[in-house]
Structure 1
Amino acid sequence: MKRKRGDEERKEEMEIVWQTPADPPEAQDYIFRHGRRYVRPYYFEFISHGKNRWAGKTIVDLFAQEFKGRPYDYYVSAVKCGRIQVEGKMVPISYPVKSSQKISHFVHRHEPPVTANGVSVLQEEPDVVTVCKPASVPVHPCGQYRKNTVVGILEAEHGLAPLFPVHRLDRLVSGLLIFARSASRADLFRQQIEGGMVRKQYIAKVIGEFPEKEQLVDVNINYNAREGRSTAGVSNLTQLLGQSNCSFYIE
């Protein structure tokens, strides 16, 4: 009986919900286990509007031809069970699409877990919020992440929304983040950053003995999207690839 209750509890915890872009993240969306923050699985509504060249195509043919990342049979099943809708209603697989119609595709989202460490609010002012971002958490919705982001967690657990990132930190980097409470304030901060009026300092742990004197590294950094890694000073015999980068390192 204990095993059965445990199965029922897990089933309740992982119950799938339907959501639209208008649904904000909420505290009950998260599950904490073994030092990780999980998000309850959900179907998220991706919205598009019928283009003129789509008019007359059946709903299944439209998706199969325009969105080739999934097989034809998937779209047939999605239309039949209501994961693909037109104007908020279920339609048959032979339904001909019309121009300007709202077409919804509810896609299953199972976000990757992040650290269970919370996002600490260090200072909150009428137009600016400063927080401490933990490592492994993206700043804003991207890729597979929507709720497991700094923006999502701040809205769900602190009621802070809307927020406009002034700058970003990579997902695996922890540190201070500044958010503006308005788009105009964010633009002002960005102008100050571009004008060199703001200085950022990164602290890193290294293996081995670091030189005592200040070190200058002036090489190009080239990011290879296919391999998902960056290299320094890569050349193709005629020119140096990547973006210029000049960094000072001190112990």
Structure 2
Amino acid sequence: MSPTIVNIAAYHFVPLDNLSERREVLRALTRELDLKGTILLTPEGINLFIAGSRHGVDALLEHLRSDAALTDLTVKESFSEEQPFERMLVKVKQEIITFGIDGIAPREYTSRKLPAQELRKWLAENRDVVLYDVRNDYEVKVGTFAGAVPAGIDHFRDFPAAVEKLPEEVKERPVVMFCTGGIRCEKAGPFMERAGFRDVYQLEGGILKYFEECGGDFYNGDCFVFDKRVALSPQLEESATTQCYACLQPVLPEEQLSPLYNPPHSCPHCYRTPEQRMQELCARRDQEIAAACNPLPGATPYDNIRPISIPLRLDRRPLGEALQELFSHIPLEDWEQVAKAGQLVHKGQPVTLDRVVRSGERYGRLFQAITEPEVNADIHVLHEDDALLVINKPAPLPIHPCGRFNRNSLEWILQQVYQPKKPRPAHRLDANTTGIVVLTQSRQWAARLQPQFQRGEVEKTYLARVQGHPTWDTTSCDAPIGRESQECGGRIVDPEGLTSLTEFKVLQRYVDGTTLIEARPRTGRTNQIRIHLWHLGLPICGDPLYLPGGQLGTEQTVNIQAPPLNLHAWKIAFAHPRDGQQVAFTAPPPDWAVNVPTNSPEEAGLG
């Protein structure tokens, strides 16, 4: 099948005016002639890449050359079996080719042009000449002249910096620069002369004109072009080089044989191992989370309604009585003040305490123009897939919205980043505790994962730095933990409490009187590790609630400036809810677990 599509490339540096009017005329004409490609109109001239029928191309050229400013427009021509362009664009810009250097005006002055036949003669005579390829690296890899020096750039605007790196001795030698069609050399040449290069030439018409007149003599490979053909051979025919859909890099025929070439997903240039892709995804998510937390979401005043649900046992009771039953620690007088201020609502409307409630109803306590305490939002994603999200949680940071914290909570922050998804925590972690938190991406995945936590099938390992040196190296604690919270919000050991078991192992005893301990909870009670170590006379450093001497503190979530609770959810392992395969994750130990004085230079083995 003989090629039927005519491809032309042309540029001309000449002052042009009335650019908007020219654009409208050319848009209408190219539409009428069924042409596709790009025409750039600028105050310094015209640049175009057009493809279509012979009649259409010739009619366009006739129109352009009828303008006195474009009479001398010269084109390079090639042929293809298919239309290489998707659409037709006629654009107005400031420069034909973006360079960013003032005082370079090719219509007023440009470097000497060396005809293609003359360059071939020079190369055949083995003349002392520096062939300088001013194209981008991804173009050079497709093909270039034998012995050519590449500029080593990713964009033409980087060309001035590349010239500065050339050896001084090159300034005294003949330099022949070249590009695809010659347009970049129109600006690159004068710049090199300004930089002190004494004998500068540009290949007239670029590589494509050389192919037209000289074929592939002294040239290795093909020439990259900016259309669907990707590259042309020295015979000006579409070559076997293709382009990666994912990264847009040209893919040579030999690269297409690589096992890393998987169109349209990847090629040898952009292929990433699963580990690399995960690292890049996590880094991107970290940036999104950081942006969502600057400023902290709870730092801006807002109105918040905390829900109050009416259980069956309080059906048909006055609202005031129901509130006293539900919140026995809050005096009725306080609720009276809340209701009087219109801050007790049902379906958005204020209600009074004598209202008779029905089971299943939801009321709300309105807090107006509130701001939340500051938290540590240095959240890092360790793993993400369609089912799971694994986070390294900082502290202090509550997981769930509660109490004084609503928007300044892990769950709320992640929902802003992952919306419309709502990642669901699969387990608990105290606001003051750092480390691994596993979340599921949907209710369906939660239904498959959470039973593993409930059945005790999840292997969890914590690090804790405690006050004191235990007399044992390994031990366990099975002290039952109370079912009810104390006035301060903490729990205590209670013979009638819930069965609990934690295994402990000493990792390092420090000269400052503290010890680094590995803790493995075999049950999942509230504050279990903290309570068991406290019960053993080894309270965790920085714990505001479980204090030395068996005392209970009065704080739950510590202030961000307070010393950190030295408890870290270090490792976790479970069966992936998708396929049942065992997976394991590790959160890097915090500073308090690695940067402390030791009795010896031995490491604690926390890598």
TM exceeds 0.5? yes
Give the TM bin, normalised by the shorter chain: 0.5 to 0.7
> Does residue 1:247 correspond to 2:508, yes or no?
no
Farther-moved stretch of structure 1 (133-142 vs 215-224):
215-224
The partner residue of 2:448 within 170, 174, 188 is 188
SS of residue in 2 equivalent to 1:115: coil
The aligned counterpart of 1:106 is: 365
Structure 1 letter corresponding to 2:409: T
- Given that 2:343 and 2:367 are in contact with CA atoms closer than 8 Å, whether structure 1 keeps it comes out as no
Deviations 1:64-112 (A, max 9, x none): 332233435753x545553234554456x59865758966433327575
Name the CA shift for 1:138/1:90 in 2 (closer, same or farther; >3 Å): closer
Name the CA shift for 1:130/1:52 in 2 (closer, same or farther; >3 Å): closer
The aligned counterpart of 1:67 is: 323
- Given that 1:44 and 1:106 are in contact with CA atoms closer than 8 Å, whether structure 2 keeps it comes out as yes
- Given that 1:52 and 1:99 are in contact with CA atoms closer than 8 Å, whether structure 2 keeps it comes out as yes
Structure 2 letter corresponding to 1:42: D
The aligned counterpart of 1:200 is: 460
SS of residue in 2 equivalent to 1:53: coil
> Does residue 1:216 correspond to 2:477, yes or no?
no
Shift of 1:138: 1.9
Shift of 1:160: 6.6
1:115-134 maps to which residues of 2 (within 5 A)?
Answer: 115-134=375-394
The partner residue of 1:40 within 273, 297, 301 is 301
- Given that 1:154 and 1:160 are in contact with CA atoms closer than 8 Å, whether structure 2 keeps it comes out as no
What is the alpha-carbon distance in structure 1 between the residues aligned to residue 451 and residue 360 of structure 2?
A: 40
- Given that 1:30 and 1:40 are in contact with CA atoms closer than 8 Å, whether structure 2 keeps it comes out as no
What is the alpha-carbon distance in structure 2 between the residues aligned to residue 101 and residue 111 of structure 1?
A: 30
SS of residue in 2 equivalent to 1:131: strand
Name the CA shift for 1:38/1:249 in 2 (closer, same or farther; >3 Å): farther
Name the CA shift for 1:100/1:151 in 2 (closer, same or farther; >3 Å): closer
SS of residue in 2 equivalent to 1:118: coil
Q: Percent identity among equivalent residues?
A: 22
- Given that 2:346 and 2:363 are in contact with CA atoms closer than 8 Å, whether structure 1 keeps it comes out as yes
Q: Give the structure, 1 or 2, with the largest relative contact order (CA under 8 Å, sep 6 or more).
A: 1
Name the CA shift for 1:82/1:123 in 2 (closer, same or farther; >3 Å): same
- Given that 2:308 and 2:362 are in contact with CA atoms closer than 8 Å, whether structure 1 keeps it comes out as yes
Number of residue-to-residue matches in the alignment:
207
Structure 2 letter corresponding to 1:219: C
What is the alpha-carbon distance in structure 1 between the residues aligned to residue 462 and residue 473 of structure 2?
A: 14
What is the alpha-carbon distance in structure 1 between the residues aligned to residue 407 and residue 389 of structure 2?
A: 19
What is the alpha-carbon distance in structure 1 between the residues aligned to residue 340 and residue 359 of structure 2?
A: 22
1:141-160 maps to which residues of 2 (within 5 A)?
Answer: 141-159=401-419
SS of residue in 2 equivalent to 1:203: strand
Deviations 1:9-63 (A, max 9, x none): xxxxxxxxxxxxxxxxxx889855xxxx746353315355697524xxxxxxx33
Name the CA shift for 1:244/1:107 in 2 (closer, same or farther; >3 Å): same
What is the alpha-carbon distance in structure 1 between the residues aligned to residue 402 and residue 468 of structure 2?
A: 35
The partner residue of 2:430 within 170, 184, 199 is 170
- Given that 1:111 and 1:146 are in contact with CA atoms closer than 8 Å, whether structure 2 keeps it comes out as no
Structure 2 letter corresponding to 1:107: L
What is the alpha-carbon distance in structure 2 between the residues aligned to residue 222 and residue 244 of structure 1?
A: 8
Structure 2 letter corresponding to 1:65: E
Farther-moved stretch of structure 1 (140-149 vs 106-115):
106-115
Name the CA shift for 1:152/1:88 in 2 (closer, same or farther; >3 Å): closer
Shift of 1:179: 0.7
What is the alpha-carbon distance in structure 1 between the residues aligned to residue 468 and residue 359 of structure 2?
A: 62
The aligned counterpart of 2:342 is: 82
Shift of 1:129: 1.0
What is the alpha-carbon distance in structure 2 between the residues aligned to residue 199 and residue 131 of structure 1?
A: 17
Over the residues paired in the alignment, what is the CA RMSD in angstroms? Answer: 4.4
Structure 1 letter corresponding to 2:501: S
Name the CA shift for 1:199/1:65 in 2 (closer, same or farther; >3 Å): closer
Deviations 1:150-173 (A, max 9, x none): 111111345373122222222211
The aligned counterpart of 2:395 is: 135
Deviations 1:135-190 (A, max 9, x none): 22122233443322211111134537312222222221111111111223223223
What is the alpha-carbon distance in structure 1 between the residues aligned to residue 454 and residue 359 of structure 2?
A: 40
SS of residue in 2 equivalent to 1:175: strand
SS of residue in 1 equivalent to 2:444: helix
Using structure 1 for the length normalisation, give the TM-score. Answer: 0.60
- Given that 2:478 and 2:502 are in contact with CA atoms closer than 8 Å, whether structure 1 keeps it comes out as yes
- Given that 2:310 and 2:359 are in contact with CA atoms closer than 8 Å, whether structure 1 keeps it comes out as yes
Q: Which structure 1 residue ranges, 5 or more long, are not aligned?
A: 1-26, 55-61
Structure 1 letter corresponding to 2:322: E
